[in-house]
Amino acid sequence: MNNPSDYYENDTTLAQYLEFHFGESWHGEANFPKELAEAALEALNGRETCRALDIGCAVGRTTLELARHFDHVDGVDFSQSFVNTCRDVVASGRARYARPEEGELASYQERSLAALGLAEAAQRVAFHQGDACDLGQDYRDYDLVLAGNLIDRLYKPSLFLETIHERINDLGLLVIASPYTWLEDYTPKSEWVGGYLKNGEPFTTLDGLKDMLAPHFRLLGEPRSLPFVIRETRNKFQHSFSELTIWEKLPA
């Protein structure tokens, strides 16, 4: 793939993500974007809930779920198409999309934010196009930063991981979820956080995260696995697992 971002500007991919965020649950798995937000909110455990950042927000469900409890949530994604869709969903109060079924066949779907209990939360979100490796200076003073299925799609994840502490308040949380699907289409092998041999020994992404985040964060609890299913067509699904880790920013 010459330009990985082209994948996310594709109408079919957009419809798949709208189904992933707002559509039905498939094969017995819960809605992943909602589960991710709930895991982050549970981890807050009494911490401040003023400002949150959902980086790599895709079509916005996790951003909206966080806004149930936060005063303000910024959703940022590299794809302008995804960001435009987020804004349309908030403005219209509903997600509308043509869900791929088979070949050229599609079924037209509509999901209302009110039916999902998100209409009021939608008043506390803002969506922006941005690069996780090169965020503007305005993105700071967050009590929570959530990166869902993001780090293995960045061209230089170390840039994100080694500077994100600058945007989080002391004792605030960084929540990372990723299937660690390292692909050179997205991330040069030299930039992989883990998933390779180092000095002849397996070096996992969790090992890499610990190394990169250790100067400014401590890991809370043990990693856990969150399943997710992306429906491609009526007969084809991606069934994956994302490892969730929660990091607390150390006081300066």
Query: pLDDT digits over 5-38, tens only?
Result: 444 445 889 999 999 999 988 898 999 999 999 9
Please, which residues have CB within 8 angstroms of residue 59's CB and are 6 or more apart in sequence? 14, 17, 18, 20, 21, 22, 82, 85, 86, 89, 95
Per-residue model confidence (pLDDT) at position 12: 87
CB atoms within 10 A of CB 73: 29
Please, which residues have CB within 8 angstroms of residue 98's CB and are 6 or more apart in sequence? 11, 15, 106, 107, 108, 109
Q: Which residue has the tokens 């219209």?
A: 92
- Residues (pLDDT < 70) of the chain are 1-10
Per-residue model confidence (pLDDT) at position 10: 58
Per DSSP, helices labelled H in the chain are 4-8, 11-22, 32-44, 61-66, 80-92, 157-161, 205-213
Per-residue model confidence (pLDDT) at position 1: 36
- Tell me, what amino acid is at 174? L
**Chain center to CA of 119:** 21
Per-residue model confidence (pLDDT) at position 2: 41
- Tell me, what amino acid is at 113? L
